[in-house]
Structure 1
Amino acid sequence: MPKFVTVDQTVNEKLIAIVESRVEDYLSQIFEAQELTKEDNIYAFRFGTVQVFIQIKPYHFDNALVYMYSYLAENVPITLENAGELLRLNAIIPFGSFGITFDNTVIYAYSMPGVQLDFEEFRTALQTVATIADNYDEKVLAMVS
């Protein structure tokens, strides 16, 4: 049996602030100030036909998640066929996943631990999320129409 330590679900605000500071530094290396917005601790930028969001979320006492996502299609009729197609896309995408939010919006998202996150990991993940979202938004719209 694995020797995992029980995860302490306590939110560590100091750690979240450290991860937010690191992410802000990384974003400043990638974007010009006018290319990036921040509202309610959610960063956003445009890439092609999509908007990509970055958010720091509590995970447990020793880590925080860097959550990257993009909304691809709103008010999607959820059918067995549509859900199956999104699951098939998840099987071929290298990381991240397509999902459906509470209000039937198709989303593409990826999250990773932030405490040990380095610049190259962050940049690669952000570029991949933006590219996949931009490449698939029209395909998802066509698929669910």
Structure 2
Amino acid sequence: MEEQKIIEKVEILPNNFSENDSVYISQENIKNLILFSKENQTVLELLITPFLICVNSGLKYELHYYKISTEISKNDTEIIGFPLENKLSKEITDNISPKLLVKREDYPAFEKFLSQYFIAMKNMKFTDDKQAIDILEQGASLFYEVL
């Protein structure tokens, strides 16, 4: 299945949030990105940006430092971590890596990278981000924009 078709298949599921031309995939639907790509062992090039969104009010907050990407590589599969001198919180640097360079044939690495990321994001407390805490207190939920 073509990459864009897999993303679109996930975007049309119920409980996602749409605004203008953007679709934000709910926490419960995002696992389908792995499920649908697994059918044909399709490694996808993705940019995934998480957002906290209050569905009732439309209030939206981008979790910029929590975004990840996957890119097809002709070389070996490699997880790219944060630079050592970064000033990000330990919650981020201990739980997620920002990029996966993956061989098209290495679907297991792709699946593991995404699975670990979605589990980590589900458990994040965002304690070092006052704006995130404020929006969570207003009933925000975690959504993902996938490009």
- TM-score normalised by structure 2 residue count: 0.34
Larger strand fraction of residues? 1
Q: Report 1 or 2 for greater relative contact order, CA contacts < 8 Å, sequence distance ≥ 6.
A: 2
